[in-house]
Amino acid sequence: MERQQVAPGRQAEAQLTSLSLRDFRNYADCRVTIGAPNVLLLGENGSGKTNLMEAVSLLAPGRGLRRARAEHLPRQDSGGEQWAVSAELLTAGEVIRVGTGVPADSDSGRRIMRRDGETVSQTEIGRLLSVSWLTPRMDGIFVDSPGARRRFLDRLVIAFDAAHIGRTNRYEKLLRERGALLAEGRADEAWFSAIEASLAESAIAVTAARQALIADLNAEAAAGWFDFPGVRLALDGTVEDWLAEGSALQAEDRFIAVARTRRMAGDTALAGPHSSDMNAVNSHTGAPAHLASTGQQKALLIAVVLAHARLQARRLGRPPLLLLDDVVAHLDVARRAALFEAVGAVGAQAWFSGTDHDDFEGLDAQSLSISADAGTASITQSEE
Amino acid sequence: MDSQLDNLIRRLARLPGLGPRSARRAVLHLLQNRDRLMLPLAEDLGQVARNIRSCANCGNLDTGDICALCRDAQRDRQTICVVEDVGDLWAMERAAVYRGLYHVLGGTLSAIDGRGPSELNIDRLLTRAREQVGEVILALPATVEGQTTAHYLHEKLSPLSIEVTRLAHGVPVGGELDFLDDGTLAQALKARGRIGSQ
Ligand SMILES: [Zn+2]
């Protein structure tokens, strides 16, 4: 069991020192300052703890921990489309103001991202900050649908490479284009082959990015850490097999040839990154995650998230923010202590949520009590 | 609100880049400057609507059947630069880095939006490419639709003995020519490559 700091000699940091919410979910107007390494959100279920974590998750590229539609984010009673989340981020010894939301003077109604008062791209924000999360909904990820595992994997890639958002969107759009053309029954060979050539390029690019992340993560996760097991991830799929057998260009050619042959034979299905599956095994025992007990599955999932955080700390010089929603209550006392130690060792600011303060014995955290009154949340900050 | 005013605001709000809020502001501003701005604007709109048409050769917008660019004897008639819309043609002209002719497609291929080859100005491009042209430059956006269209045109043009190139895309994905600064555009044009040779 390793006990050393992840990035020795270097203070790996990425911490929010304050957070403000306006007209977001059930928050009207709140501001908190954070004066401890971690944050603990305490409150009844339904009071708004997950909403607060969602707000933090939206500071990084992507659609946040609920993958919510834009219209669900503004506070209902506000009657408007606008909302805002902003924070002070301490990273590499510098305080940067980051924010996201739909501004009041927006005509498009689209969410924007800001850095120190300037509107910037998601990619630019992605260089400063990434956020990882574990929610109760992810508990069954190893037995859930392959789609949930692919989304999880793609988020792991995006933490290092925000361009992966565009890569996967592009691939999915091309799939829809091909589907629409097939549905129309147009036999325009040049059009099909234009779409399939682009599809092949993006299929290989998406797969290669996923595989590169898995290789790096496996190197990091194999040994296990604190009380959490070693994990090995693998990606299964047709394109993955082709890339194992030949070069990327050969895989592209095979993709194009198969798509055309199948289409000519009246078979509209296509294998690609949208049908790949990720599986996980315990690297010590070789036991597949989907056959493990619920408790072991949870430990494996935490192990993946911790390894990913360590990889970021090492590679990018900063850990992600970790949002651990309702995670602790289901761990035994030893695992809890191990988790608190592990997030400390990785240098990450972790946001925990729970209902009982006693579950967090030994955690150095700023406590925030959240309560909801008539549908509006308020936060009470305790001085520690 | 008066229904005439309301109509005007609704119409303006449908313009690209505007919305209800900016439309209201624009209408108020126009009403405060009726003689200096609003009436001349109405006159310009009518005149342009009556006189401007698509060039029968390249799809550019101009007052004649054949546009001034196509009639200009100084331009290199061996090279055709294919763009998505007239906005992109204007961007290339503002950058003043290109001396050939253009071809405006009037959109990009999108099966989802029901825009096929016959909806675009593609047949005319193929006809032009068969007549004394040495190079066709595909200056299409790096979007899914733009690149699908580039693939499609490449396939249609490759049987002809002309060179087909495309802009080097140091251009952000989804970025459109109209939003590029002149220097970037000049770079992309200089570094253009033969398709399939990258
Ligand atoms: Zn013309």
Q: pLDDT band for B173, please (50, 70, 90 cuts).
A: very low
Q: Which residues of A169-193 are buried (b: 16+ CB within 10 A; e: fewer)?
A: ebbebbbebbebbeeeeeebeebbb
- Residue B179 pLDDT greater than 70, yes or no: no
Q: Which residues of A touch B (CB under 8 A)?
A: 105, 107-108, 163, 166, 170, 173-174, 176-178, 180-181, 184, 186, 188, 190-191, 193-195, 197-198
Write out the two tokens for A199. Answer: 């599809």
Q: For residues A75-79, give the mean pLDDT.
A: 87
pLDDT of residue A294: 92
pLDDT of residue A172: 96
pLDDT of residue A123: 87
B72 φ/ψ angles, rounded to the nearest 5 degrees: -70, 110
- Residue B122 pLDDT greater than 80, yes or no: yes
pLDDT of residue B54: 96
B148 with A198: Cβ contact below 8 A? yes
B112 with A186: Cβ contact below 8 A? no
Q: Which residues have a Cβ under 8 Å from the Cβ of A317 and sit 6 or more positions away?
A: A7, A10, A12, A92
pLDDT of residue A168: 95
Distance separating alpha carbons of residues B9 and A316, to the nearest angstrom? 50
Cα–Cα nearest to B167, from B146, B157, B156: B146
pLDDT digits (tens, 9 = 90+) for A202-260: 999 999 999 999 999 999 999 999 999 999 999 999 999 999 999 999 999 999 999 99
For chain B, what is the mean pLDDT?
A: 88
Q: pLDDT band for B178, please (50, 70, 90 cuts).
A: low
What DSSP element (H or E) covers A24? strand A14-24
Q: pLDDT band for A346, please (50, 70, 90 cuts).
A: very high
Mutation target among B120, B151, B166, B197 for the A interface, most CBs of A within 10 A:
B151
Q: For residues A347-368, give the mean pLDDT.
A: 94
pLDDT digits (tens, 9 = 90+) for A281-324: 999 999 999 999 999 999 999 999 999 999 999 999 899 999 99
pLDDT of residue A10: 42
Q: What is the dihedral of CA A213, A218, A221, A223, to 10 degrees?
A: -160
Write out the two tokens for A125. Answer: 């924000």
pLDDT of residue B195: 64
Distance separating alpha carbons of residues A30 and A16, to the nearest angstrom? 15
Q: pLDDT band for B190, please (50, 70, 90 cuts).
A: confident
Where along chain A do the CATH 1.20.1050.90 domains lie?
A: 146-291
Write out the two tokens for A86. Answer: 């902003």
Residue type, A32: V
pLDDT of residue B68: 96
Residues of B within 8 A of A191 (CB-CB) are: 109, 111, 116-117, 148, 152
- Residue B198 pLDDT greater than 90, yes or no: no
* pTM of the shown model: 0.85
Q: pLDDT band for B180, please (50, 70, 90 cuts).
A: low
A263 φ/ψ angles, rounded to the nearest 5 degrees: -60, -40
Distance separating alpha carbons of residues A187 and A255, to the nearest angstrom? 20
Of the two residues A264 and A186, the one the predictor is more confident about is: A264
CATH topology of domain A146-291: Glutathione S-transferase Yfyf (Class Pi); Chain A, domain 2 (1.20.1050)
B111 with A177: Cβ contact below 8 A? yes
CB A251 within 8 Å of CB A242: yes
Mutation target among B12, B21, B122, B144 for the A interface, most CBs of A within 10 A:
B144
- Residue A7 pLDDT greater than 90, yes or no: no
The percent helix, strand, coil of chain B (3-state, each to 5) is: 45, 15, 40
CATH topology of domain B3-51: Helicase, Ruva Protein; domain 3 (1.10.8)
Measured in Å, residue B167 CA sits from the centre of ligand 1 at 21
**Sign of the four-CA dihedral A364, A29, A72, A376:** positive
Sorted by where each begins, the domain ranges of chain B are: 3-51, 61-194
Write out the two tokens for B147. Answer: 């690149």
- Residue B36 pLDDT greater than 50, yes or no: yes
Residue in B with minimal Cα distance to A163:
B173
pLDDT digits (tens, 9 = 90+) for A82-131: 999 999 999 888 999 999 999 987 877 889 999 999 999 988 999 999 99
Cα–Cα nearest to A85, from A107, A63, A114: A114
Please state, in angstroms and as integers, the Cα–Cα distance from residue A9 to each residue in A310, A314, A317, following that order. 15, 11, 11
Q: pLDDT band for A141, please (50, 70, 90 cuts).
A: very high
pLDDT of residue B175: 43
Q: pLDDT band for B176, please (50, 70, 90 cuts).
A: low
DSSP B163: E
Write out the two tokens for A351. Answer: 């946001």
Q: For residues B110-121, give the mean pLDDT.
A: 94
CATH number of B61-194: 3.40.1360.10
Where along chain A do the CATH 3.40.50.300 domains lie?
A: 1-142+305-384
Find the distance separating the first CA and the last CA of chain A, reported in whole Å. 32
Measured in Å, residue B164 CA sits from the centre of ligand 1 at 20
Closest CB from A163, A176, A198 relative to B112: A176
User: What Rg do the C-alpha atoms of chain A give, in angstroms?
Assistant: 22
Q: How many CA atoms lie within 13 A of B104 on its CB side?
A: 21
- Residue B174 pLDDT greater than 60, yes or no: no
Cβ burial of B65 (10 Å; 0-12, 13-18, 19+) is: exposed
pLDDT of residue A370: 95
CATH topology of domain A1-142+305-384: Rossmann fold (3.40.50)
Q: pLDDT band for A12, please (50, 70, 90 cuts).
A: low
